[in-house]
Amino acid sequence: MMRRIGTAAALAVLAVLAVTPAATAAAPPPDDTGRSWEVAGMLPFASQGDISALAMMNTGSGAVRQAQFPDYFAFNAAYSPDARTVYGTGYVWDSLGAVFAAHDAATGDILWQVRTDEGQSGRALAVSPDGSVAMTGWAAVDLVTHEVETFSPCGDDSIPYAVAISPDGSTAWHTCSFDDPTPNLELRAYDVDTLAPVETIRIPGHYPGVAQGIEITPDGSTAMISRSYQATGEHTSIPVVLRVDLTTGTYATLELDTRNTISISPDGTHAYVAASNPGSALDTGVDEDPPPDHRGDEAPIPAAVTVALCAIDIATLTVTVSVPLNAVHADPAVSPDGAHVYAATWDLDGPAGARSGISTHETASLARLRDTPVADRSIRTLAITPDQAPIARLTASEPNSPVTFDASASTVEFGTISEYAWDFGDGASTVTTTPTVEHEYAEPGEFTATVRLTSSGGTSTEDVYTGKQLLRNGDASAVATVTVTVPAAVSTKLPPTGFQGAWVAIVGFGMLVAGVTAVTRRRVQHGREGA
């Protein structure tokens, strides 16, 4: 758009009071709140015989909805980066063949699925950061073409119980267990694109439990592995959590009897697990340190054993806080903003028989905020909606003094836009919590102003990924720019250093006669497809 400023307008700015260029936040924006995240969990064999279900809890209201399906016995779940699809793995019960299925996140309906021969692992699942491929214990699934390339990451002598993909999307790490002749846990790394072996980290004297979990810190340096066992004798072992340096292959252990999977916070400082109440001597009713058969037949866990939700400091490998869950098993999941931990809990012998639910906890203290009943059957591994980057839209007023920048047309899918980081292109910048700001330019010229948005979930342009799925789906859509040409008659020229009092800017005679032409170019960065 081109606007000509006539002689009268030029005369109006012959004299201005000198001020330091400043950014001023304007009035609060209209309500631009997006929807709440959802926590999804699989219910193998829900209330009707051999029918499984996908349960989804709204983290804001606590409301739960379920979608039933008879196609497979579901074990694991993970979201696509755009939060539109929930992927599940499990078994075909009559053949024990493995299943990979894609569910519509809005309805829970199965969109498509692939199956394999019996005897394969239907537990392991990780979705790559770019959403192009899913790694399971038996195949790499192309999520665009739905093509499947089967392979055996642990060879013929073992099956993988868990898999995690590196945050750069290049490598898939599988947990494998071998007797040769003593127990050994191996982390086997494969190239995600070619499935070629990359590296093996061998951990002697350890083997995984069936419901093992693995996640990777967002910087890609460290793997945390739950439900591992360290052999202490021919028929004895102690349960441990493993911390593995993926660069050096060194590892450390924390003695803790974890029950199922593990979840890492978005800042990479803590891991969350469910474990037999740490620090208390529980009467399990079974022999001390029962070693599981690493092929899958674990010693039964009596109903008397309850678990606690535990926070582990990854750097020190210590439990910093724990709270009882009053359940036999639990699977944790951390929210994208790191403020809450959700635990899928189930108990085979509750007051009314089998029961399951999702509890909500504050991360620092693990204080229980809410308990949400889900079903009368067990609930498996949780997955949480990835937070999405805001979509920034930016306009600028005509180059008056000051210029008003407006990002109020920006949108966000989840939560709210919590931060607007402004760069005015002249060396000045500011951060506001409101979408409009005013700025005075001290010199004439062409300036490109930029706004970078951050959602209340902490998402801006950068991804946060912890091995299984994205927590924050960062995108360039969070940034918008606009170019403003400021004429000499509009700029607020700064006084000399140490000057006090009023300062008058005189506009040349030629400008008064000819007037001032100001050209403003505006560019709004387009959002992602479908926004």
Say which residues have a Cβ less than 8 Å from residue 151's Cβ, sequence separation at least 6.
Answer: 138, 139, 140, 190, 195
SS3 content of the chain, % helix, strand, coil (to 5): 5, 50, 50
The pLDDT value recorded for residue 446 is 95
**What's at 212, amino acid-wise?**
Q
Average pLDDT over all residues of the chain: 80
Cβ atoms within 10 Å, residue 358 = 27
Which two structure tokens, joined as six digits, stand for 445? 């010229």
**What's at 368, amino acid-wise?**
R
Which two structure tokens, joined as six digits, stand for 127? 């979705």
Q: Return the closest-CA partner of residue 276 out of 224, 330, 219, 232.
A: 330
Please say whether the beta carbons of 78 and 86 come within 8 A: yes
Distance CA 502, CA 17 (A): 6
The pLDDT value recorded for residue 123 is 82
Q: Return the closest-CA partner of residue 386 out of 119, 94, 87, 180.
A: 87
Q: Is the peptide bond before 324 cis (omega within 30 degrees of 0)?
A: no
Q: What are the average pLDDT values for consecutive 10-residue runs of the chain, which has 531 residues?
A: 30 27 37 82 68 91 91 89 96 79 96 80 90 94 96 85 96 87 87 97 81 92 92 82 97 91 97 76 34 39 69 98 87 97 78 74 96 80 96 92 95 98 98 97 95 99 98 98 88 46 31 27 33 40
Distance CA 310, CA 290 (A): 22
* 3-state DSSP of 364-405: CCCCEEEEEEEECCCCCCEEECCEECCECCCEECCCCCCEEE
Please say whether the beta carbons of 482 and 396 come within 8 A: yes
CB-neighbour burial class of residue 435 (10 A; exposed 0-12, middle 13-18, buried 19+): buried
The pLDDT value recorded for residue 523 is 26
Please say whether the beta carbons of 411 and 477 come within 8 A: no
Cα–Cα–Cα angle for 32, 35, 37, nearest 5°?
A: 140
In the numeric block, the tokens 């402004």 are attached to: 422
The pLDDT value recorded for residue 471 is 98
Say which residues have a Cβ less than 8 Å from residue 368's Cβ, sequence separation at least 6.
Answer: 323, 359, 360, 361
Domains in the chain (CATH in brackets) are 2-32+388-522 (2.60.40.10), 38-384 (2.130.10.10)
Distance CA 468, CA 474 (A): 16
Please say whether the beta carbons of 20 and 504 come within 8 A: no
Distance CA 308, CA 288 (A): 19
Q: Return the closest-CA partner of residue 263 out of 331, 189, 321.
A: 331
Which two structure tokens, joined as six digits, stand for 500? 């006090």
Distance CA 62, CA 54 (A): 16
